[in-house]
Amino acid sequence: MQKFRFYFISMLLAASFSLPSYAQVKDTLQKVAVKKDSLQKDSARNILTLPDTVKHLQSKFPSYIPPAAFITYGLLSLKVKFIRNIDYDVRTDMMKDHPGFHTKVDNYLQYAPIISVYGLNAAGVHGKNTFIDRTMLLVLSEAIFAGTTFGLKRVTHRERPDGSDKFSFPSGHTGNAFVSAEFMAQEYGDRSPIYGGVGYAFATTTAILRVYNNKHWFSDIVAGAGFGILSTKAAYYLYPLIRNGVFRGSSDKGKNNNSLLLPTYQDGRVGLTFAKSF
């Protein structure tokens, strides 16, 4: 609306002076329109075009210790009575402090870091990877997590605190929240550790709410957090190896190459189309 008023006033002023001035303004407006269209095309191209390579995971060894410890703790709770008793104590304390507590916030809060990542990029605060690479990394992270945890749920067969089913270990909501948190940390950690802290705050809140909602034991959420973090780290390690090998152009040979990945939909099926220029 502001641009429209600017153009309209400009044309009125030009017409009040002379016809040549109006022609100049008209020519300027045409150039602006062409430039705007070009920028829109460039933006779409930047979203869908793949660079030659993606960055490799640069996490230091100490960053793997907490998630590994979380998973170990959770697995030990399946056999070690002392650790299992902690689950009962935590549940008892929470039920006493907040009897009848229930909320559905955790169903949505687990996705907050993901929404934040795409929101920040849309606002112009760009992360580590392009839209396509970022999305593929997220999909791979979720796939690794789902493949790991859903199998464990069926094998461990632990009953939930509320008795609703026997798929309590590990916590899927918590794991997904920490997949999202580590995803945000990987994309924006180079800019500031605050971004990662915000993501992990969302994830931790989600985990606590799962216990308060009587849906999980304490060891369930601890293990879920570990699996979530390591799943994302695994995706950020594996994806560059796959992507750089499959999609890498021959720019190192002095050639100009572009790769394009497009979503497709046909006959009720969703897929991806890959195009490459040599």
In a 13 Å sphere around the CA of 113, the CA atoms on its Cβ side amount to: 32
| Domain residue limits at 175 | 62-245
Query: Considering only 166-180, 192-206, 228-242, 254-268, which range has the smallest mean pLDDT?
Result: 254-268
Name the more confident of 269 and 246.
246
pLDDT at 185 over 90: yes
How confident is the model over 41-67, as pLDDT tens digits?
444 445 555 555 667 777 788 889 999
| Residue 39: inside a domain | no
Q: Which residues contact 201 (CB under 8 A, 6 or more apart)?
A: none
Of 63 and 253, more confident: 63
Domain of residue 124, CATH code: 1.20.144
214-226 burial, b for 16+ CB within 10 Å, e for fewer? bbbbbbbbbbbbb
Task: With respect to residue 153, please indicate whether it lies within any of the assigned structural domains.
Answer: yes
Residue at 255 is within a domain:
no
Burial class (CB in 10 A: 0-12, 13-18, 19+), 11: middle
Specify if 71 maps to a domain.
Answer: yes
Domain count, the chain: 1
Does 50 map to a domain?
Answer: no
- Is there a domain that residue 253 lies in? no
Residue 34: inside a domain, yes or no? no
pLDDT at 57: 76
Q: What phi and psi, each to the nearest 5 degrees, are found at residue 106?
A: -65, -25
Question: What tokens were used for 246?
Answer: 């499959």
Residue 199 lies in a domain: yes
